[in-house]
Structure 1
Amino acid sequence: MGIRPTYGTLQRFRRRTRDLHVPGTVDGVAFPVSACWRLNGGGAVPFHVESIPDDGVDWVHDYKASPAELRCRDQGDFTVEFSSDHPDLVAGDNRLAIEMRDADGRSVACTIRFDWDPVPVPLPLDISDLSGVRSVQDVGQVVAGAFDVDPVSGVIRSRAPVHPDSLLVLGGAHASQEATYNVRFLDFTGVKWLGPSDFFVGFEDKDPPIGIKTGWSSAGMAALNPRGEARSFISWGDHSGTRREWVVVTDPPARFPVERRRLYSVRHQVLFAEGTDTVRFRIWPADEPEPDTWLCQEDDAGIDPAFPRHRSASFGLFQHSGMPIEWSNIRVVAL
């Protein structure tokens, strides 16, 4: 019986997106579990611990019937999340206390000590040299799923089995920007979306909130699948179930067949101009010339102006389920 934070009890965070996310799992307990967290001795805040097991869910074609939507793959999964402007959060050393009580009345607790740097990550951002990186938290914030750095190979790799909607945010929140990188898709088994990247805005709460935010807000996602389809997405609160939820998607998809283990180059942009959010990207084999045209391009000009819009975003690495992907030579610049 124990609480296992994905990245241990000593962690570090820097201001990259609007919330801090602390994923983990609890095992050896009787479900359902009630849980709360406290930051630096502050008030108790309840949060969601997944009680529904993954009994062979086909994540490629289906979802688990869970109130947490795509945020928790396995029974016992959780993510503590709180604002980067939380009044109890201080620069430097912080303590996050997690307390749980299971269906049999047994209690378990865990304290995570973490360092917080409130200075936003600036642009330009160069993560092309990973040789001296010891932890993925040295270069980014894991929002969902798990990622690792392989300094010998010089890559960031998603951890198997890859969770649905896995995300590692690397950059801080900025306006118009461009990311370039290399990517290698190792295996297509169980993959719904190969990613590979997103200009992430944040998660939105359900109404009423359930203790984990489920609505994905993206200023511009680049997405491929093993069937040779490519799409761009822009969204506010996707899977939140609120009346303000909206999604823009490339439909029909563009065509781009990808090959296992081949190295590709990607150029991915988000542009904010005159009240419109535009995303575009192209991908090509790394040993071939860069194409002149964009593979996918979408904007939110057709969304009701009364609905929420985006004015900044944070670059991150994205994948939905399946086997690991490798990213390298990552650079992000302002436009």
Structure 2
Amino acid sequence: MLARTIKATAICEGIGLHSGQPVRLTVRPAPAGTGILFRRIDLLDSAGPEDQSSGLERITIPASPLAVCQTTLGTVLTNRFGVTISTVEHLLAAFASLGITQAIVEIDGPEVPILDGSAAPFIDLVESVGVRELAATGQVYRLREAVRVQIGDSIIEAEPLAEGEEATLMIDAVVEYDDPAIGRQELALENAYASFREELSAARTFCYLRDVEMMRAKGLALGGSMDNAIVVSEGKVLNEGGLRMEREFVRHKVLDLVGDLYLMGLPLAARITAIRPGHGINTAFARKVIESHAADLVSLDDLPLPAEQARA
């Protein structure tokens, strides 16, 4: 398998979930070695007297767990100039499901558009122009040692896959909420990347009705509506038509987990157990994997065959 980018420029427009402002997102193809970069093109003209290249550096934010600066109601990245981009997780989850490892994402505002609150529109966006394989071998982070992170009552722990096991991301997740509309939900995926489209992509973000006014008083969720979020109150889903799928709440939390882990820029091959996952613990886990060198960067051509193929 080779590294991947998109075949042509893809554009979509929407509103920011928290800013409520219109935003235009442009995904451009990128050569091998670029990684995934976000660019705040609305700030390019304010870059000052620097030349064009340094102006681009100022507005460019790499997708990296080391770039995370905030995780309240979404994942926010920053660079050394203090420029930020918010709500990156759904787009990154779509990239993860399609194997996109090289892309430049231009945005004319402070956050990625929320669209319908899921990752499905971003998959459609990429597929509208197609995926292109590059003349570079794909790579994966294969976990070498166990990693555990706990923040409050949220826990993520991961174990290496067995030797000869297919290099994929296995996830067992549990969420638990007081409201009976959600309650306790569990989800187990043997291959989160391969099953992403069917099992996770359409699951929407969600909130409690009681929290909406509080968030808006803080300048958050100004673009939120029942068109882009599930709203829950006193044991009921208020959206007309209800849920899109069974256990949509835990599915969305796993969608977010896949997107946050893709801040690493490559797929992760590991067996993960996630108890009450959220952006804070997701990104802390990804950061720990990188900083502790707990995973080996492995060429897909060098991976052992899955056991059943080896026996054949």
Q: After TM superposition, is the score higher than 0.5?
A: no
Structure that is richer in strand per residue = 1
What is the TM-score normalised by the length of structure 2? 0.26
**Structure with more contact order per residue of length (Cα contacts < 8 Å, sep ≥ 6):** 2
Structure that is richer in helix per residue = 2
What is the TM-score normalised by the length of structure 1? 0.25
